[in-house]
Chain A
Amino acid sequence: MEVPRPHDHQLAAVSAKLDALSQQVGLIVERQRKTEELFAEMTPILKLAMGVASERLGDLERRGYFEFATEMLKVADRVVTGFGPSDVRQLGDAIVGILETVRAMTQPEVLAVAGEASAVLQNADQAEPMGILGMVRATRDDDVQKGMAVMMELMRHVGRAAQLVSDKRAASPLEQKRSKLATITGAKKKKVLGVERPAPAAPAAPRAQAEPKAPAASCGVPQTAPSPVAAVLDGVGFSADGHLADPTQWTAELAVKIAAAQGVGMSDAHWKVVEFVRADFEATKVSPNIRRITQATGVTTKDLYTLFPKAPARTVAKIAGVPKPAGCI
């Protein structure tokens, strides 16, 4: 068999296209002819119609339709400039809801309630001034009670709807992005109703980590000057309440002596507490109370009462050569 040459193949394709084209031309000619026929038939009818229409338009003109339409166009123009296409799309989504709301609000019963209420507003100038007592008295009125119930129910629904709106807003991707951005940049919150919010506390200065935190106000005032000396024993001055008058005179030997006088035999556990109390007083100039000691050394309150029976904080303060702790915790 002879293989068809490429040339023949292309020829066949061109002739097929030509066939299709001539068919289409035939169709167009046919349509044109029909249109012409239509025009020929329509011309008298249109002439008649135009006559009627212009008569009608003149009539409309007289009745002010066009003036109305021009004004309406101005309104429409204002609406268009005020709203974007997305607003219109949202309106389309909401139209069913809007219509339902309007229908519900225009029910005769609802209108009756609104009419009654507006009648009161019209006569607002005749209302007597009322204080809190008057309000309380008014709540005994059955109608007022009913009205309050309606108002409460209304408020409940409004609140629920508002919650829904805020939930929806929070869930929207834009808002999520915004809040994320706010957390990253630490943007300050919008002021609400002019309420001034305190600025967030500045980050703690690095030196605060090195120094022990000063105890709170409940723990007494710092004492820097030595207490007045009330008694002198072995050449060391003591204050009236039995504490070392000058904390700098303290020595370990003296501590053992004072402890013995208090009925305390010093062990490692005792020394741990005494050393903390001295170090803490050194840093804060305040004798630590029991709570501060237990929190800093890890010794429990119970153990502290065992180590230093009777008033532990005061006994430790005596042994450590610092003033009597002032706090009551």
Chain B
Amino acid sequence: MSNIATSKRKVAIIASHGGLDEAYPSLILANAARQSGIEAFVFFTFWGLDIITESKVDHLHVNLAGNASSGMPTMIAGLPGMESLAAKMMRKQMEELELPSVREMLQILDESGAELYACELAMKMFKRSKEDLLPQVKDVITAGDFYDLADGAQIIFT
């Protein structure tokens, strides 16, 4: 009668991009996994660090330039102010759909038991310390540590 995953199913999601449109897929996948009774780990690396950085999480942008799906010519999409305009429009649309903000999504993930990790190498590259990150981040670990943690998990790269 039950089809909720009773096995020890795990997903390990690697978030490597920091755009608003790039943050949601990883966060929603992780949340959906938790809602389906699947263990979830999220590893934030490179630009993905912005998603869990206190000063950046509320100001993630949408990059239209070079995005064929944006429907906007790259010449125009690259103009100053376009990306923040796009981010604003996307935020508005998400609000209409009652999607939680990125910050709220991370809180929900933390409360639902998903584990969030920051990449040590990326932290060094971007000169960030643990204090710059959101409190929901469990630890700063290396890619090798992440593999150990996510032993037996399905890995999703976003």
Contacts and interface: CB of A to CB of B under 8 A. Distances in A.
Contact of B2 (A217, A262, A329): A262
B112 A305 contact: yes
- Looking at chain B's contact residues, the main secondary structure is loop
A215 interface: yes
Contacts of B4: 310-311, 314-315
B37 to A, nearest CB: 3
A241 B37 contact: no
Bin chain A's interface residue count: 20 to 34
Interface stretch (B92-100, B115-123, B124-132, B146-154): B92-100
A281 interface: no
B67 interface: no
B108 A261 contact: no
A313 interface: yes
A313 B4 CA distance: 11
Given A242-B2, A314-B4, A329 B111 contact: no
A238 B1 contact: yes
Nearest to A218: B97
Nearest to B35: A311
A186 B99 CA distance: 32
A305 B98 contact: no
A218 B100 CA distance: 11
A290 interface: yes
A242 B1 CA distance: 5
Interface string A310-329: 11111100000000000011
Interface in A218-240: 218-219, 231, 233, 238
A301 B136 CA distance: 14
A124 interface: no
Nearest to B95: A216
Contact of B28 (A215, A300, A312, A329): A329
Given A241-B3, A314-B36, A329-B28, 17 more contacts: A215-B98, A216-B97, A218-B99, A233-B1, A238-B1, A289-B35, A290-B108, A291-B100, A300-B111, A301-B112, A302-B111, A305-B111, A310-B5, A310-B37, A311-B37, A329-B100, A329-B108
